[in-house]
Structure 1
Amino acid sequence: MFRAIVVPLGVLAIAACTPLTTATRSVSLGQGDVVATTPVGYCVDDVSSQPASDFAVLAPCTSLGADSVAPDVIGVATVQVGPAESGNAAADELALRDFLITDEGVSLLSQAGDASTVEILSSQAFNSQVMVHFTDSSPPPLAGLQNEEWRAFTNVNGRLVTIGVRGLAVAPLGDGPGATLLKLILAGVQAATTDTETSQPEV
């Protein structure tokens, strides 16, 4: 069951050279069931995101050409929303965490689909959420990103939401900032499903 819905994040193509006329702070995914609202200083990359495929890329607004103050934590986040009822996978968070640290689960974390490229650094499960911190020696989803990733899985409106966070290779995130950014993105996704106007987590 887990294998069918827990998949590696796709290849990204950040459009950093395309100036933004407006800063998009939220995106609707999963046929409107899930709305991801960015932390302060982050915007939705409208070019790289694929809402029709329930996939969004979030990056510092300044990197997308918007006139904005840079956030304290610089990274790139992805949000992938699964089909209806897929959130059941996170209902038993301990089972999902245990699956993700098996060879089969680890291979799904790998960008290359190869368990040998991944080293699990830590994992935790609580409140229908699973967070995994790992390194992946296979090429990152976007050139210029570090090989270390923080990934979360949670259930929002019955859909499995997968969030991945990485820093830049030239300015990699450490464990503290990486985990912090992941939690901020996660909080925005959860809060946006109930109040998309006032829920905007701050970095």
Structure 2
Amino acid sequence: MIRFIAVLCGVLSVTACTLTDTATSPATRSVALGEGAVVATTPEGYCVDEVASQTARDFAILAPCATLGAQAGVPSVIGFATVQVGPAESGSAAVDELALRDYLITEDGARLLSQSGDAADVDILSSQAFNSQVMVHFADAGPPPFAGLQQEEWRAFTNINGRLVTIGVRGLAAAPLTEGPGATLLKLILAGVQAAATTIEEATPETSPNAG
């Protein structure tokens, strides 16, 4: 992870470059989680960190492809994202999105958002709920999930294939994301996380019964 932060700092200083001269690894743009029930596909310029991700625990890390040695251009919004998929039936927590949003702004909810589990560390900056999705922007005074990341986080909760999916987005402490870019990146990541059946149907063209 230290290497990731160092490379990301380098990417920030050369955003006009594509880094194709140093890119050698194939880009991994999607990962299946939750026993294959959920597929996370990255937005343009982002790849799955296959080394740091823990797919056996239904946890994935998404980062700019250039930081992972993959051939791709630098994305317009540079940050770091995590995707966590819960067990079967856990998605019921997000069915009533208004109740979940209201819970997250309580002391117990702040404790859930905090990396350290200390509700006093969390300052809710904004929240919204719609279509079984809840998005929360907050500042966490505790240590970030990985050293070198900013204290503000944009987090989303949603129900996909009956499983609770949690997405977190942060920028670098040295180049933090602001409200607009942070929310944009969260929505881009969220848009790429879908039920596996939906992903397969979209990827497979329909065959006419009269074909052939």
Is TM-score (shorter-chain normalized) higher than 0.5?
yes
The Cα RMSD (Å) is 1.8
Residue number among 62, 74, 78 corresponding to 2:82 in the alignment: 78
Check if 1:46 corresponds to 2:56. no
For 1:67, give the aligned amino acid.
Answer: Q
Residue number among 22, 29, 49 corresponding to 2:26 in the alignment: 22
- Measure, in 1, the Cα distance between the counterparts of 2:49 and 2:115: 21
Q: Give the C-alpha shift of residue 196 in structure 1.
A: 5.5
For 2:153, give the aligned amino acid.
Answer: E
Structure 1 moving runs of 4+ over 4 Å: 196-199
Q: Deviations over 1:21-53 (max 9, x none)?
A: 211000000000000000010000001101110
- Measure, in 1, the Cα distance between the counterparts of 2:195 and 2:35: 17
For 1:175, give the aligned amino acid.
Answer: E
- Measure, in 2, the Cα distance between the counterparts of 1:86 and 1:15: 34
Q: Aligned to 2:92, what secondary structure does the other structure show?
A: helix
Contact 1:111 1:136 in 2 (8 A): yes
For 1:79, give the aligned amino acid.
Answer: V
Check if 1:186 corresponds to 2:190. yes
Contact 2:114 2:121 in 1 (8 A): yes
Contact 1:129 1:152 in 2 (8 A): yes
The structure whose Rg is larger is: 2
| Cα distance change of structure 1 residues 178 and 24 upon mapping to structure 2, 3 Å threshold | same
- Measure, in 1, the Cα distance between the counterparts of 2:170 and 2:89: 28
Q: Give the C-alpha shift of residue 65 in structure 1.
A: 1.4
- Give ranges in structure 1 of 5+ residues lacking alignment: 1-12
Q: Which moved more, 1:52-61 or 1:185-194?
A: 185-194
Q: Aligned to 2:187, what secondary structure does the other structure show?
A: helix
- Measure, in 1, the Cα distance between the counterparts of 2:195 and 2:63: 19
Check if 1:167 corresponds to 2:177. no
Q: Aligned to 1:168, what secondary structure does the other structure show?
A: coil
**What's the counterpart of residue 146 of structure 1?**
150
Percent identity, please: 73
- Measure, in 2, the Cα distance between the counterparts of 1:107 and 1:20: 41
- Measure, in 1, the Cα distance between the counterparts of 2:159 and 2:114: 22
How many residues are matched? 186
Contact 1:14 1:48 in 2 (8 A): no
- Give ranges in structure 2 of 5+ residues lacking alignment: 8-22, 204-212
- Measure, in 2, the Cα distance between the counterparts of 1:148 and 1:121: 9
For 1:31, give the aligned amino acid.
Answer: E
